[in-house]
Amino acid sequence: MKVEIEEIKRLLPHRDPFLFVDCVNIIEIGKKGIGYRKFLPEEYFFKGHFPNMPIVPGVILIEALAQTAGIIVAKSFADQSQKTVLFTSVSNAKFRKPVVPNDEIIFDVKFINKVRSIYKFYGEAKRNSYKVCEAAYTAMIINQQTK
């Protein structure tokens, strides 16, 4: 099941310039999927990270993995508009190769387990099937406050 940007915006609270997933192919709702992002030369962070040698910051790759998992989990909720996924921890993060402008990255994420409202995932970011980043991370599901 493919989830495009407009539906992603319904599932996650993130917006430009902090939405790092262009689309997601959900393989199994709540359990497994692949996010996609092409990092364009005009991304705001390339101006300072680093001038004359632009590299996507590792923290943004981790955030994109977490956003991909958030989309996969949010899609499993009956009332998607009343839930929010909040990143809570990251462990065993490894950065293997730099990601540069025009790189197309896939974010391959897999559900590990769930304890109450805390979901644990493992994810790998890949460019042309080469792993550029990997991490285990957790997120908490909360009910949104209605105003």
Global pTM reads 0.94
For residues 66 and 23, give the distance between their C-alpha atoms in angstroms, rounded to a whole number: 14
- Whether 146 has a pLDDT exceeding 50, the answer reads no
Marked catalytic residue, from 31, 32, 49, 120: 49
Residue 73: which H helix or E strand, with range? helix 58-74
Q: Residue 38's beta-bridge partner residues?
A: 104
Q: 3-class DSSP state for residue 72?
A: helix
- Whether 21 has a pLDDT exceeding 70, the answer reads yes
For residue 110, give the nearest of 141, 83, 142, 137 by alpha carbon: 137
Please count the structural domains in the chain.
1
pLDDT digits (tens, 9 = 90+) for 87-102: 899 999 999 999 999 9
For residues 81 and 20, give the distance between their C-alpha atoms in angstroms, rounded to a whole number: 20
Look up the domain containing 46 and give its range: 2-143
Task: Read off the CATH number of the domain in which 75 is found.
Answer: 3.10.129.10
Q: Is 14 a catalytic residue?
A: no
